[in-house]
Copies of this chain bind each other. A is one copy, B any other.
Amino acid sequence: MKLSTKGRYGLRAMIDLTIHGQEQLVSIKSISERQGISENYLERLIALLKKAGLVASTRGAQGGYSLKVPAGDISVGDILRALEGDLNPVDCTLTNDELECSAENFCVTKFVWKKISDSINEVVDGITLQDMVNEQLSIQKNFGKVEENDYEQSHLSGSCSNYTNQKTGS
C-alpha cells in the first residue's frame, strides 16, 4: 500500500516545473539537478505526464517542458493517476476475480475497497497543483529563499514537524 517513486518524484517534478516554468521552458536536466532525480528516470516520468496531457514539450536546443494546462486546473489526483495508474487499493472490476467473489464472502470486502479509493480520490482531487505551489512558495519565503542546487546548506532537518498540523485546508 505504498506509492511508488513515480508518484513521489513526479509530483515534485510538477511542482518544480510550475515554479520554474513561468517564463521559460524547463529542461529535464534542470529539474533533475534541482530535485536530485536521475535525468533518465525523470524523462520516463515526464513522458507519462505528457501522455496524460498535463505537460507540453518542445524539442531541440533551448527546448523543454511547460504545463499544458494552468496549475489551478490540475489536481494532485490527475498527476498521481497519470503516474501510478488508478489509485484503487485493489484491482477489482466486479467481474474479474471470480474466487474472491464467491458466495461465502460475496463481494463484501469490495465495499471497503470502494470506500478507500473514494476517500483517496476525494483527497487528491481536492488539492490542485497551484495549491501545492503556493504552499511551497510560502514555506520558502518563511525560511528565506535559498540557493538552488545546494542541498547541504539548505536542508533544515526535522523542521517539517513545525508545519505538519498547520495547514489543514488547501
Contact = CB atoms under 8 A, between A and B. Distances in A.
A15 interface: yes
B120 A124 contact: no
Interface stretch (A21-29, A39-47, A59-67, A83-91): A83-91
Nearest to A91: B2
A56 to B, nearest CB: 22
Interface residues of A, number: 69
Interface in A142-163: 143, 146, 148, 151, 154-161, 163
- Looking at chain A's contact residues, is the secondary structure mostly helix, strand, loop, or mixed? helix
Given A112-B11, A119-B122, A127-B112, A140 B103 contact: yes
Nearest to A95: B158
Contacts of A7: 1, 89
A160 B101 contact: yes
A16 B94 contact: no
A12 B154 contact: no
25 contacts: A1-B4, A1-B87, A3-B89, A12-B100, A35-B104, A36-B99, A36-B102, A95-B157, A99-B151, A102-B154, A102-B155, A103-B151, A103-B155, A104-B148, A106-B136, A106-B139, A106-B140, A106-B143, A109-B132, A111-B135, A112-B132, A115-B123, A116-B120, A119-B119, A119-B120
Given A11-B109, A111-B170, A119-B122, 11 more contacts: A1-B3, A15-B105, A94-B161, A98-B157, A102-B151, A103-B155, A106-B143, A115-B123, A115-B127, A119-B119, A120-B120
